[in-house]
C-alpha cells in the first residue's frame, strides 16, 4: 500500500475481490474520519460483484460514499459506435440515514451484461434498445450480442467514459481495449465526512420522503426513490427465508460442483 495523507493506493496482489473491496472501504472510511475526506484506489484484484455493500459499509459510519470502477473487459460501445471499448462501469453512492443507510448502485450500461447469460440459459429474448450485434445493429438475440449500449445516450456515454478514466488513472489500472482480464481493472473508493454530520441522516430522510411523497405523473401509481424496489425485494426474501431458483439453474450448479460444467455452466460462471 502507498499512502499520501488522505489518499491511498492498494495493490490487491490478485486477492479475492470481496476481501480487497472490504479492505478498501474500511480504509477509506478511516481516512475520512481522520482528514474529513479519503480516497482509496484499488487495483489488481478480481471482481467483487455489486458496489452497494461497500458503499453501505462507508455510509453506516456516517459518511458519504462514492465508489466506481471500470468493469471491463470491453463490453460497452460508446455513443454512436459499433465496437465495444468501455466496461459496464458501475457507480455507487451511499448516504447515512436514520434507518438503513441509503445506497444507489447502478451500471452505466443500459442493461447489465449478466442479462445476456440469463437470457441464453432461459431461451428468452433480451430487452430492446440495449444491445448491439457485430455490425452495430440493435439485437434482442443473446447469441448475437457483441456490445451493450450506454444508458442515456450521449450523456450516459460520457459518464461511462469518465468512470473508465478515473478508475483507470487513479489506481494505475488499464483502460479500454488494454483491459485483458479482471485483474487489469481499477476502482476508486471515496468517503466524505459531512459538515453537519449530526443532522445529515435526518436531512437524507427528509429529501427521500419528499421524493416518495411527490405527486405521481399520469399512469404512475407511486413515486419511488432509486433502489426502493430492490430493497423491498431483499427484505421480502429475508422474511420468507428462501430464494426461488429455477430447476435448470440448480442442475447447472450441481454439474459445476461435480466438475462437469458443460457449455451452459460455463455461461453461468463467467
Same domain, 176 and 79: yes
Give per-residue pLDDT as tens, 107-134: 999 998 889 988 887 789 999 999 999 9
Give the pTM: 0.88
pLDDT value at 245 more than 90: no
Q: Could you tell me which residues come within 8 angstroms of residue 118 by beta carbon, excluding any fewer than 6 positions away?
A: none
In a domain, 143, yes or no: no
Domain of 237, in residue numbers: 224-270
Cβ-based neighbours of 29, under 8 Å, separated by 6 or more = 38, 57, 58, 61, 63, 191
> What DSSP state is assigned to residue 99?
S
Residue 202 domain-assigned (yes or no): no
- Same domain, residue pair 267 and 169: no
105 and 239, same domain (yes or no): no
Within a domain: residue 214?
no
Q: Which residue has the cell 477509506?
A: 28
Do 165 and 103 sit in the same domain of this protein? yes
Contact by Cβ (8 Å): 108, 159: yes
- Based on the fold, state whether residues 105 and 228 are members of the same structural domain: no
The whole-angstrom separation of Cα 54 and Cα 92 is 9
Is the omega angle on the peptide bond into residue 168 within 30 degrees of 0, that is, cis?
no
In a domain, 211, yes or no: no
Which sign does the torsion angle of CA 206, 190, 52, 86 carry? positive
The total domain count for the chain is: 2
In this structure, the answer to whether residues 49 and 180 fall within a common structural domain is yes
Taking only the tens place, the pLDDT of each residue in 120-177 is 877 899 999 999 999 999 999 999 999 999 999 999 999 999 999 999 999 999 999 9
Residue 137 belongs to some domain of the structure: no
- Quickly state the pLDDT bin for 263 (edges 50, 70, 90): very low
Amino acid at each position: 500500500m502507498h499512502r499520501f495523507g488522505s489518499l491511498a493506493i492498494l495493490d490487491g496482489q490478485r486477492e479475492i475481490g470481496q476481501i480487497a473491496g472490504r479492505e478498501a472501504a474500511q480504509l477509506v472510511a478511516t481516512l475520512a474520519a481522520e482528514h474529513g475526506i479519503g480516497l482509496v484506489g484499488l487495483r489488481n484484484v478480481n471482481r467483487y460483484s455489486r458496489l452497494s455493500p461497500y458503499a453501505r459499509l462507508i455510509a453506516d459510519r456516517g459518511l458519504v460514499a462514492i465508489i466506481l470502477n471500470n468493469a471491463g473487459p470491453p463490453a460497452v460501445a460508446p455513443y454512436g459506435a459499433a465496437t465495444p471499448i468501455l466496461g459496464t462501469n458501475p457507480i455507487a453512492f451511499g448516504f447515512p440515514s436514520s434507518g438503513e443507510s441509503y445506497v444507489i448502485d447502478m451500471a452505466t450500461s443500459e442493461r447489465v451484461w449478466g442479462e445476456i447469460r440469463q437470457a441464453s440459459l432461459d431461451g428468452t429474448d433480451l430487452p430492446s434498445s440495449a444491445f448491439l450485434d457485430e455490425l452495430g445493429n440493435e439485437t434482442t438475440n443473446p447469441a448475437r450480442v457483441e456490445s451493450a449500449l450506454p444508458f442515456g445516450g450521449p450523456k450516459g456515454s460520457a459518464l461511462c467514459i469518465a468512470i473508465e478514466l478515473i478508475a483507470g488513472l487513479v489506481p494505475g489500472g488499464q483502460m479500454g481495449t488494454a483491459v485483458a482480464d479482471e485483474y487489469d481493472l481499477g476502482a476508486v473508493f471515496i468517503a466524505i465526512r459531512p459538515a453537519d454530520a449530526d443532522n445529515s441522516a435526518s436531512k437524507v430522510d427528509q429529501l427521500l420522503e419528499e421524493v416518495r411523497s411527490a405527486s405521481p405523473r399520469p399512469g404512475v401509481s407511486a413515486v419511488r426513490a432509486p433502489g426502493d424496489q430492490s430493497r423491498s425485494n431483499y427484505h421480502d426474501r429475508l422474511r420468507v427465508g428462501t430464494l426461488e431458483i429455477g430447476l435448470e439453474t440448480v442442475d447447472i450448479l450441481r454439474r459445476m460442483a461435480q466438475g462437469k460444467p458443460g457449455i451452459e455452466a460455463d455461461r453461468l460462471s463467467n
